[in-house]
Structure 1
Amino acid sequence: MNIFLLISLSSPTFLLAYSIEQHTLSDLRRFKVKGVVGRFAVDRNALERELQNRKQQDVACGHEVKLQLPQSLPQTSYDTSHQGEVTLTDAFITDHTLADELSIDLNEQVATSYKVLVVAIPVVLGTTKEHGILPLHVFTNSTKKVLSAYGTNYDYISQLNDFEEGDDGTVRILLGDDVITYQVQDEVKCKGENKVGKDFNEVLGKIITVTNYPLPLDWGCELLGSQISFCQVLNEVQCGLAAVGGDFCILTSTSSSERCPSTIKILNITGVFQQMIPFLEETVPNESFEAEFIDREHTTGIKYPCLTH
């Protein structure tokens, strides 16, 4: 029998749930990612603090959440007892589902193709200890609203109009006088000897698990309405979704993938960007110890509860 205890809290998890059956909603959205993703070694304690802070925000269920750093990942080149890693992804995302289903009016408001810089931590999730990804920040220069399929909530996305891109692959993202500057290898063709067998994201498994815990699930359906197929599905299970607060994961499968070696280097971080990602600022300038150019097609669904199950 499922038992629910309602409590009133300002925490993102406002409903404590016991013995909730796990559910999976498959094949809800399709999207494409094309760009460079790199791995950076950083102070492990700083990443541990980030995870602990997120659990503390979840007053009701944070103590039950299973969210931790991996003990090790393949092809690491750092001391895992003192360091962990973050990933930076500089890419263009195309949301096929929204591109196909948005009305003319909504198409003027909601982005279907946009550039992003994603900062994320590889994590271990749930009692089954699945490897996954916790996106910390997404920066985009889209002037339209971005409702990303590669996450459980769009509130972690910062829309900044000032992106400057140089001919040498240098990108400067500005917020007032504050800046983050990085450099990526110019787009390369994944052909012949440049191809690699498996990109490093596949060390996480055939299904990439992503969470924005402790934020609740929000794919923008209040704006999109019932005309969008995934909003229709989510609307039918609203009670179950509400019962798990922020305990959601995205399950992302890969239908096609091209990849080849690349580089990405962080050159400078100042001001507010230092506050948002302090563990990167401490190592600047910093070149990734592994990076790849990727061109991948994904299908994504939702699993809940995820981190307490």
Structure 2
Amino acid sequence: GIMRSHTRGDFDQLQKRDMVFTNLANKAVLAARERGVYVVCVTSSYWDNEFRPRGYNHVSHGNPDGLMLKDVSNEILHSHTPYEQGLVHAPEIPEFSICPSSGTGSSSIHWMLNAELANKLAHNDAKSVDKSAQYLQVLTERVRGLKVYFNRIQETAEIMAGRIRQGGRWFAKSIEHPGFASEFHVACGVRVVNWGDWEAAKEKNIMLISAISPAYREEVRLALEKQVEGAYVIGIGPSSSDGVSPHGRLIDVADAGFDNFSPESGGVINIPGRTETICPTSGIVGNVIQQMIIAQWADEMVRLGSIPYFLMGVYREGGREYNAAMKPFFELQGF
């Protein structure tokens, strides 16, 4: 991307004609705007704002100065991720919705902004809306294309449910792009992933590998090693990269392979004058596939009378207490 991530201390350094995108609403942000900084606030599931019930957030993710986004910003962008974070409402898990969405919504806005800013910096006469709309169209088409995997996801989830109920462990790895694995344990994420003793029942285990390259050597090696042990391997990644479809692709090696429909080593946006394309879709589409698998697996588990545990967001009031109270029951049940 062309933007730099900010820290809380950066607001004091910003001056007139600077621009900042933030989820925060506090005195430092307000002071920056009053100095002439153009402040764009982006809604987030994690940080308190005026678009959720008062008192929903834990004080650690609140606004100690009593300010809201409208009080500190020149503009508000909506990520369209619900303040509950989860997208799936499971009657058997009434405490909160499951399967997080913040990464999808926030990342989409991030790359849309990068696309539009890069285009405008390169061309003074650029249209007011151009590359961001192009990015969103490509991303949306690719996510909609995942419907071809509905049956495969259901079959995969059935196998996973059987293995987990028999004591198997479910691990997730992403070596080239480690961010994938972290999306399992965010607010409303599934608790069982990357927990327990892999060695205890290796022939019943599940290994899910998410990739941004079709045949990243370490990820393919990991898939093969775990298959030899008896694990059921799920592979998510592209089928090709810049027109090259290599031998031994992860999605071919895996027992269940899912194409993320993102065959670019760079991104989907081409800016004349730049040597490389920008703004990828691989991370977002790959994570959507992960969450689809989790949702269907949870449904299969419930059908079999085994309700799995999920993590309540610690950003919300009661989240820490819920997770602490749930822990011994989860450890006893194993999922």
TM-score normalized with structure 1 length: 0.24
Q: Structure 1 or 2: larger helix share? A: 2
Q: More relative contact order in 1 or in 2 (CA 8 Å, sep 6+)?
A: 1
Name which one, 1 or 2, has greater alpha-carbon Rg: 2
